[in-house]
Amino acid sequence: MKRILSLLTVLLCVWANAQTSDLTKDVEETLKQQAKVKVDELTNHISFIMQKSGYDDEIKDFHIQAALNLFMGKGKSYSDKYGNVQPAPRMQVSSINRTTGEVSIRDFPVSTYLSNLKYLSYDQVEITNSKSTFIDNLHKVGEDEYEAVLSWVQIFIGKKGDMVIYKDKTKKNIVVRMQKKNYGGIVRWDVLLGDTTAAVTE
């Protein structure tokens, strides 16, 4: 029995290694950089959507749609290449009660989250992403298709006039889907965003 269990363990390790063995280190690094760029793009769009002055609804709606285009299914439920219906990506939002210190977390479809940003009560918002990001659990999910989890720290500051009325720092994790595509004989990788979770808020 022990020999059988040992053999199964070896086979599982070989299988797990095979899930990413066809990606070279250069390709892995390129995909990681593309994933970080996508997250930075999302943050930039969010910053525009949340500002109260200088941007009308038409401009904000443009940034909402541009942000949705970064996600799997363009932020809506979608059918994958195997015909399976997948739910719309979701976004967790965390906040701290400054009186009690309690952290609350809410969960929205990403389209609802982005639309709600237009109605926040801050006069000005500053969002900063940490330069360092960490990508973990890169694994194969289909032919020429991979997923990973990108983690980073985001600092959020909300102001009324020049006064800071809310500030937090949150570690965020986002699922990243990487798909190899052929465009008229030109092969490239598409990187799309998925569910986002708020891991730690302080």
Which residues in 161-185 belong to E strands, given as ranges? 163-183
Question: With a threshold of 0.75, does the pTM exceed it?
Answer: yes
Query: Which residue do the tokens 């465009």 mark?
Result: 183
Does the structure show a pLDDT above 80 at 72?
yes
Of 168, 166, 165, the closest CA to residue 155 belongs to: 168
Quick check: 39 pLDDT over 80? yes
Residue range 111-127, pLDDT digits in tens: 999 999 998 888 888 99
pLDDT for the residue 133: 81
C-alpha R_g of the chain: 20
Mean pLDDT, range 17-23, rounded to an integer: 55
Strand pairing partners for 129?
154
The CB density around residue 107, as the number of other CB atoms within 10 Å, is: 14
Each residue of 125-176: pLDDT tens digit?
899 888 778 888 888 888 889 999 999 999 999 998 889 999 999 999 999 9
The answer to whether the CB of 75 falls within 8 A of the CB of 95 is: no
The residue behind tokens 């022990």 is 2
Taking the C-alpha atoms of residue 132 and residue 85, their distance in angstroms, rounded to an integer, is 34
Residue 3 above 70 pLDDT? no
Which tens digit of pLDDT belongs to each residue from 81-96?
889 999 999 999 999 9
Instruction: Give CA–CA dist 45/174, Å, rounded.
Output: 16
